[in-house]
């Protein structure tokens, strides 16, 4: 019986994943990441109901080092962070892999909506799930050596309702637990308040137009992102859009024109499937935010970076967000928009 380490949060997704793995004949070991946010008791209830042991790994310091500080610094520099994208390779899957190595487990599993396939040479490919809830965008920084060990039991699920139905059939206590929609370390959703407590309380400044004319006052550049059109509080003859953030002058540029770009630069790319870039430029589909929409583009690798040229202009690619490359449903890799 093969051992598998499962990231167990106490939510319905990881709970159903645990149950499915047991039914498939795996020897399942639950792993809860204790980060000073609570939740251990709920995870233990799920582990007990499914009948698996639960190991608690204290990783508050790692969350602070790799995720919280990054989150704060990105906003300080007028960029839009992706905390889950950073947490997965540096904290979550690293901790799972370390524990798996300790107990001699071959596999790692989570309740993510994603799939693993093998190419003709037997190499692991990260593949989109069947569900519209697909989460491969958030997994784009996992290296292939981690993907080689991954199992995603919910990858074939049609939707979240199917997963909840599976939980009710198995009398799992978290069957009706609501989804967490917020950043895990900011459970109340008040990220501006969190940033202030963290020491990132950026001052008010000027809204300006593209010619530098002052249009009003903003509440701090960390409260805005490129393409934003709501909550600006500035009257104009038409709808205004955030066109640019200027941290060096503490200005937020507004425009009556929406933001569209034909080219972007992407930095610090992780190639889940590095064979795609072995012969230089390649065609693919690119997602510039966590949504189902992907645009046709050509990627021109430049070392760890790349220039991405889209077939059609894309709306509001924001600095700091991830650009993730796909070959239909296969994840090629991804990096951070400059």
DSSP notation for 22-59? HHTT-EEEEEEEE-SS--HHHHHHHHHHHT--EEEEE-
Active site residue 87: yes
**Quick one: which of 277, 279, 278 has its CA closest to 325?**
277
Shortest CA distance to 3 belongs to which of 116, 139, 123, 96? 96
Catalytic residue status for 192:
no
Strands of 241-246's sheet in order across: 214-218, 205-208, 251-255, 241-246
From CA 238, how far away is CA 240, in angstroms rounded? 6
Q: Which of 68, 84, 150, 184 is catalytic?
A: 184
Name the active-site residue from 68, 84, 87, 150. 87
In order of 1, 6, 148, the CA distances from 195 in angstroms are 47, 32, 37
Dist. CA 38–CA 33, nearest whole Å: 10
Residue 68 carries which DSSP code? I
Positions marked active-site? 87, 184
């Amino acid at each position: 019986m093969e051992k598998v380490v499962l990231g167990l949060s106490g939510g319905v997704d990881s709970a159903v994943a645990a149950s499915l793995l047991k039914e498939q004949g795996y020897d399942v070991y639950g792993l809860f990441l204790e980060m000073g946010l609570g939740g251990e008791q709920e995870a233990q209830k799920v582990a007990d109901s499914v009948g698996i042991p639960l190991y608690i790994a204290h990783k508050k310091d790692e969350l602070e080092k790799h995720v919280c500080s990054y989150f704060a610094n990105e906003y300080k520099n007028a960029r839009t962070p992706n905390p889950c994208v950073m947490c997965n390779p540096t904290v979550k899957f690293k901790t799972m892999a370390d524990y798996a190595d300790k107990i001699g487990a071959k596999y790692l599993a989570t309740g993510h909506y994603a799939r693993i396939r093998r190419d003709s040479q037997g190499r692991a490919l990260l593949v989109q799930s069947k569900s519209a809830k697909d989460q491969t965008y958030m997994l784009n920084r996992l290296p292939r050596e981690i993907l080689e060990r991954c199992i995603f039991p919910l990858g074939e699920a049609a939707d979240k309702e199917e997963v909840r139905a599976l939980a009710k059939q198995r009398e799992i206590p978290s069957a009706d637990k609501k989804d967490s929609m917020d950043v895990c370390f900011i459970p109340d959703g008040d990220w501006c308040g969190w940033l202030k407590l963290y020491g990132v309380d950026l001052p008010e400044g000027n809204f300006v137009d593209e010619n530098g004319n002052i249009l009003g006052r903003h509440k701090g550049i960390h409260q805005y992102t490129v393409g934003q059109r709501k909550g600006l509080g500035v009257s104009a003859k038409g709808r205004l859009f955030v066109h640019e953030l200027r941290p060096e002058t503490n200005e937020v540029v507004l425009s009556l024109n929406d933001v569209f770009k034909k080219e972007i630069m992407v930095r610090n790319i992780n190639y889940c499937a590095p064979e795609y870039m072995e012969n230089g430029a390649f065609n693919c589909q690119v997602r510039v935010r966590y949504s189902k929409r992907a645009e046709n583009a050509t990627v021109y690798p430049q070392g760890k970076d790349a220039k991405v040229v889209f077939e059609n202009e894309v709306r509001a690619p924001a600095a700091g967000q991830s650009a993730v490359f796909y070959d239909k449903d296969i994840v090629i890799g991804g990096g951070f928009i400059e």
